Structure 1
Amino acid sequence: MNQTPIRVVVNLTDPKFADQVEVLRLQVLSAGIELEVLKSQTPTQFLDLMTKYLQTGPVSVIDQCLVTGQAMIDALIKGQWSTSACLVKPSSKPNLMHDARVMHKRVVSAATIEHRVTGATHTMLGFVRVGNDEKSQLAIAQARDYFSDLKHKADFVDLITVALVRAACPVIAISTTGLCDRADSLLELTELRAAVDGQDEQEIRTQRALRAEDGFYSTFVLRKLSRKVSMYAVTRNWTPNQITLTSLVLALIVAGFFATGWWPLMIVGALGVQAAIIIDCADGEVARYTGVSSQRGAWLDAATDRVKEYAIYAGLALGASHHGHDLWPLAMGVMVLQTVRHMGDYNFQAVQVVRETAMLPLSLNVSMDSGVASNGTILDTSAALNANSKIRWVKKVIHFPIGERWLVISICAAFNSPTLALSALLIFGVIGLAYTTIGRILRSRNWKHAQIISGCEILERQITPGLGAEWFWADGSHPMKGKFAWLAPAVLRLLELGLVLAVSQRHPIAFLWIFAVSFHHYDALYRSLAGFEIPANIKTYGLGFLGRSLIIVITSLGFVISLDATLLLGGIAFTALFVGYASKQWMQQIN
């Protein structure tokens, strides 16, 4: 991951904005870096300087007309992105010169006075961060010849953004919080600065720490409570990882309460579930607020979420067994469903971003961009309906995210009904899975670049069949290039875990086997999304899904040893390997 930019530069071309450049200099200095003020640089001179600077690290370029507060400047200067990035805000009214089209938080088209954007969605505000990766450096170097022929006044930030986008470099779209705009005149500059002086910078920092695009219950209930926890944690210097582990411990205690089956403790546990998820929301908020987010912290948060939720399922089933109810098949079914859903969710999103933001290099000599492809009549209508906030929130609830799932658990546990809790999770989960899968299949039909930019590597890193079947693509072929290949990991998990569930419904110990194998699949998923693969020794000792399935089939038929013994010994062994050893190895690797 690229670190804080080595240099932050601004090119002063209009003396009347000298005072604003001085304001920017002081703001950038407050963020910890000296702003380098250049004066009346030509495009060629500026790009030559950029090429030189990029040899030593990332460079951020600020427009002389940018007006914003200290909180936003801190976020821009201290923010860490793995690629180049550009500051934008949504806009329904094209202004031609500063237009941009953003998809999945990526800038996929940008405008200058000579370049036009089809279907503009945003306006560029005058900040671009150029990564010092080889591709970005080449884009800046190649743009020099084109920009050397410019005869008119140039907007350097927009020119650089267009150069990056036209070279197919990934450019993250940085969203705004609080007032953030370009001043076109001294009068507008005065008005904008007065507005900035009147805003609450602390509130803006807090707002930027909140997670965007969350579920209905999380947005309107959990986040309103978690921000109080987050601000308290910041004042106590608690780290995000400490908060994550606190949530994990609390959730495990709650699972223990549920396991007793005693109604008073079920009520306490119901409240504890809500407390655990509120605390869980706070870890990410503290990470974003303090700027100390890390790959290790992200993995710990994701991994403990699975442990917490599945431990709660086990607690509900165990508690019900004290009253003569066998809910283990239901608990295992919900766990299988959640694993399959998450495989589909994360893989579709990852492949979707790759395919729908995929750009082929486009010459700067071409005025128009490559255009916008339709997603199909049904999905275009669905996207239009999202403009209605009520419909958009209903669709989010149907998806049944973690906030809604844990709310269902709390309500049902408070009424001492673990059967209702697990049944509701299964029913609503299936509805959510069907709804999202149908929509995603329809969307996938219109994807382009199937054989050029497919995201197949993300999927193939997760496919560990075992029994030597890896030879299938050992020759360098890519079997996951198809438009619907994102379904493969989810389908394979359904087949493997569904087999265990089908033959082990009356064997509660199967829960441990399914949990350990599910954790392994999540591990493979998270590693793949980070660009890594499961180590060879874990693949070998884990036997692959074919090897594990073969063991289940053989022992279920009564050969070698009993199914109960297989599930117990295998569950313990796989927990030690997939949860213990693999987690330790991954922590060491990302450190």
Structure 2
Amino acid sequence: MPDSLTSRETTTTSVVVLATTPACRLSCADGTLLDRISGQLQALPVREVQVVTPGGGLGADLRGVAKIARIASGAVAVLPADLVAHTEALALLLEHPAHDTGALVSHDATAGPMRPPVRVEGGKIVAAGSSFHLVPEANATFRGVLQAGEADLATLADVAEELAELADTGKLGPVTPVEAVDLLLVGLVRTGVAVRAAGIGPLHADRVAGQNAADSAVTRLADVDEARVRLDTSVKRDDGFFATFFVSTWSRHLIRPAAKLKLSPNTVTGISIGLALLAAVWFSAGTQGGRLAGALLLYLSFVLDCLDGQLARYTRTFSAFGAWADGMADRLKEYAVYIGLAFGFADPGIWPLAVAAMIIQVVRHAIDYSYAGAVADAARIGATWGRPPRSLLESAGARPAGGVLGLARRLERQPVTRWLKKIVVLPIGERTALIAVTAAGWNARVTFLALLCWGGAAALYQLAGRMMRSAR
């Protein structure tokens, strides 16, 4: 039965703790494992915590989750009380401002009875396993914490009720209450819900079944500096080549000072815009010194462009407005620099090249954003009728992609080809470097010709990739 422990009306996430296994009563320094996880949740911004206690087996536990999901407002997180985890690991979901649907995963793919396999692609969980459900080509493991965003609560309730019926009738085999949260993840993934994979990195989140395992798991927590991990995870792991190796290696040292100064990410974005506009002014001077100064200011502007996101992740204050403003700022800064370079070249013949470079970037952004919009529309509308939902009774997971897409995903796992792919698409970091180097070393004509050649090739590459993915 659900028992309410806490209530905080200033936040939008509720937590359901499944205290339905004997392990939740194992002892630790904080009392029991249930006491420990409850204390951690008290320190996190959650609205309320409800504990589901044993009362009828797996089916009853799942129906308890469904009942809570039916009446909840805001996101609902479900986690087992036999979980030993860093508080920072729990915060990856519970403090995320989006309050979206996600699950804690480790990219350690060594699966076990308490860490079922999952397959992660593009930051989403595309296949999830249990003792009944298999996952081909698993590349990560689920670590016990699942959150359903408000938009997916009805689906969570439906899945929980369907799984409860299947468990009660024995159609899922010898599953036990230990697997309740694992089965819920399987159900959400197989019904087409987009589940964000929140990677724990070097943090620990382990479910335990005995006292020795509990003692060992608690001891291991002290081996990790949570504050350091929080700083490390503020830097994007999948950023571009230039941003990763020429910016983030030192911009990370600016995150804590910026936080102490109480600078907001939007303030940092504003400063970045100012530096880019100054770069455009220097470029417009048309002198060698002006181009060198402009290149340096453009680079520093990009550093701050990276820092605003890093600061947002560190302070967990990012928002939809901030993301939109950051994207718009990128376009404004880049086109202002184009104009500055064209003015500084002092030859009317440069303007067609500048306009063409702008058009190439507009086309590339249109390819990306129109594809992203189409995917979102398909997920929101078309998925319910365009393809049948996958059965919760199928023991095998979804097949991995074959053909060209399958080859592309296999190449993605190789460091060299992964970095080459990131460079080829000419992201904002590589464009910044290209503009700065060619403008400082040569002139605006070389800059625009380089942007047109590389940008055109990148546009064709993106278009081909989007067409193949759309056809699939």
TM-score normalized with structure 2 length: 0.85
* Aligned partner (choices 452, 456, 470) of residue 430 of structure 1: 456
Q: Do residues 46 (structure 1) and 70 (structure 2) align? A: no
Hey, what's the Cα distance between the residues in 2 that align with 1:267 and 1:397? 24
* Matches for 1:52-201 after TM superposition, within 5 Å: 52-54=67-69, 55-57=71-73, 58-81=75-98, 83-93=100-110, 95=112, 98-133=116-151, 134-149=154-169, 152-154=175-177, 155-184=179-208, 185-201=210-226
Please tell me whether residue 269 in structure 1 is matched to residue 285 in structure 2.
no
- CA gap of 1:3–1:426, structure 2 versus 1, over 3 A, is farther
Q: 1:434-463 CA deviation, whole Å, 9 max, x = no partner?
A: 333334434444x1xxxxxxxxxxxxxxxx
State whether residues 19 and 54 of structure 2, in contact with CA within 8 Å, keep that contact through their aligned partners in structure 1: yes
Go from structure 1 to structure 2 and tell me whether the alpha carbon gap of 1:90 and 1:280 turns closer, same or farther (over 3 Å shift). same
Given the superposition, is the C-alpha separation of residues 107 and 81 from structure 1 closer, same or farther in structure 2, using an over 3 Å criterion? farther
In the alignment, structure 2 segments of 5+ residues that lack a partner are 1-9
Deviations 1:542-586 (A, max 9, x none): xxxxxxxxxxxxxxxxxxxxxxxxxxxxxxxxxxxxxxxxxxxxx
Return 334-343 or 352-361, whichever deviates more: 352-361
Q: Is the 8 A contact 1:375 1:443 kept in 2?
A: no
* CA gap 1:291/1:320 in 2 versus in 1, 3 angstroms: same
User: Which structure: greater strand fraction?
Assistant: 2
Residues 4, 178 of structure 1: alpha-carbon distance in 2 compared, 3 angstrom cutoff: farther
**Partner amino acid for 2:167?**
F
1:485-540 residue CA offsets vs partner (Å, 9 max, x unmatched)? xxxxxxxxxxxxxxxxxxxxxxxxxxxxxxxxxxxxxxxxxxxxxxxxxxxxxxxx
Equivalence for 1:318 = 343
Identity %: 28
1:37-86 superposed Cα distances (whole Å, 9 cap, x missing partner): 44334323323322332212332111234333222222222124464221
1:367-414 deviation digits (Å, cap 9, x = unpaired): 334x315341x4433332333212221221111111111111111222
Provide closer, same or farther for how the CA distance between residues 156 and 50 of structure 1 changes in structure 2, counting only shifts above 3 A: same
Unaligned runs of 5+ in 1: 448-591
- Counterpart of 1:364 in structure 2 is 392
3-state SS, counterpart of residue 19 of structure 2: strand
Pair 1:375–1:348, CA change in 2 (3 A)? farther
1:505-584 map, 5 Å: none
2:15 alignment counterpart: 7
The residue matched to 1:101 in structure 2 has which SS?
A: strand
Q: Kindly indicate whether residue 332 of structure 2 is the aligned counterpart of residue 304 of structure 1.
A: no
- Name the aligned partner's letter for residue 274 of structure 1: Y
Conserved? CA contact 1:72–1:176, under 8 Å = yes
Q: Give per-residue Cα distances to partners, 1:251-283, cap 9 Å, x unaligned.
A: 111111111212222211111001101011111
Residues 140 and 164, structure 1, Cα contact 8 Å, conserved in 2: no
User: How far apart, CA to CA, are the structure 1 residues paired with 2:339 and 2:224?
Assistant: 49
Q: Secondary structure of the equivalent of 1:273?
A: helix
1:104–1:353 CA contact under 8 A, matched in 2: no
In the alignment, the residues of structure 1 paired with residue 318 and residue 136 of structure 2 have an alpha-carbon distance, to the nearest angstrom, of 35
Match status 1:336 vs 2:353: no
Contact 2:160 2:184 in 1 (8 A): yes
Moved more, 230-239 or 379-388: 379-388
Q: Distance in 2 between matches of 1:13 and 1:125?
A: 16
- CA-CA distance at 1:112 after TM superposition: 2.1
Equivalences for 1:270-419 in 2 at 5 Å?
270-321=295-346, 324=347, 326-351=349-374, 360-369=388-397, 371-376=398-403, 378-415=404-441, 417-419=443-445
Relative contact order (C-alpha < 8 Å, sep 6+): which is higher?
Answer: 2
Given that residues 106 and 171 in structure 1 are in contact (C-alpha distance below 8 angstroms), is that contact kept between their aligned partners in structure 2? yes
Rounded to whole Å, the distance in 1 between the matches of 2:110 and 2:221 is: 23
1:231 partner SS: helix
**Higher mean C-alpha deviation, range 336-345 or range 183-192:** 183-192
Does the 8 Å CA contact 1:168/1:360 hold for their aligned counterparts?
no
Alignment: residue pair count: 441
2:230 aligned residue: 205
Q: Aligned in 2, Cα 1:354/1:375: closer, same or farther, shift over 3 Å? A: farther
Give the letter for the 1:374 counterpart.
Answer: A
Decide whether aligned partners of structure 1 residues 64 and 354 sit closer, same or farther in structure 2, where only a CA change above 3 A counts.
Answer: farther
Shift of 1:227: 1.9
What amino acid sits opposite 1:67 in the alignment? V
Alpha carbons of structure 1 residues 231 and 53: separation in structure 2 relative to 1, 3 Å: same
Please tell me whether the aligned partners of residues 240 and 286 of structure 1 are also in contact (alpha carbons under 8 angstroms): yes
Contact 1:179 1:195 in 2 (8 A): no
Equivalent of 1:28, from 41, 48, 71? 41
| C-alpha contact 1:66 1:180 (8 A) present in aligned 2 | no
Equivalent residues of 1:9, 1:36 under 8 A apart: yes
Query: Does the aligned pair in 2 maintain the 1:98–1:124 contact within 8 Å?
Result: yes
Conservation of the 8 A alpha-carbon contact between 2:16 and 2:65: no
Question: What CA distance in whole angstroms lies between the structure 1 residues aligned with 2:111 and 2:59?
Answer: 28
Distance 1:233 1:124 in 2: 34
Partners of 2:162 and 2:408 in 1: how far apart? Answer: 40
Letter of the aligned partner of 1:275 in structure 2? L
Secondary structure of the structure 2 residue equivalent to 1:425:
helix
Cα pair distance change 1:431/1:372, threshold 3 Å: same
C-alpha contact 1:177 1:207 (8 A) present in aligned 2:
no
RMSD: 2.7
Deviation of 1:24 (Å): 1.9
1:208 and 1:311 map into 2 onto residues whose CA distance is: 32
Q: Distance in 2 between matches of 1:95 and 1:266?
A: 58
User: Residue 5 of structure 2 aligns with which residue?
Assistant: none
Letter in 1 for 2:352: P
2:238 partner SS: coil
CA contact (8 A) 2:125 2:194 kept: yes
Alpha carbons 1:17, 1:64 under 8 Å: kept: no
Q: Name the amino acid aligned to 2:394.
A: V
Q: 1:253 to 1:273 in 2, by over 3 A?
A: same
Opposite residue 421 of structure 1, the aligned amino acid is T
CA gap of 1:416–1:368, structure 2 versus 1, over 3 A, is: closer
Q: Answer yes or no: is the 8 Å Cα contact 1:10–1:35 preserved in 2.
A: no
Instruction: Point out the structure with max Rg over C-alpha.
Output: 1
Q: Structure 1's 46 and 92: CA in aligned 2 closer, same or farther, altered over 3 A?
A: closer
AA matched with 1:25: S
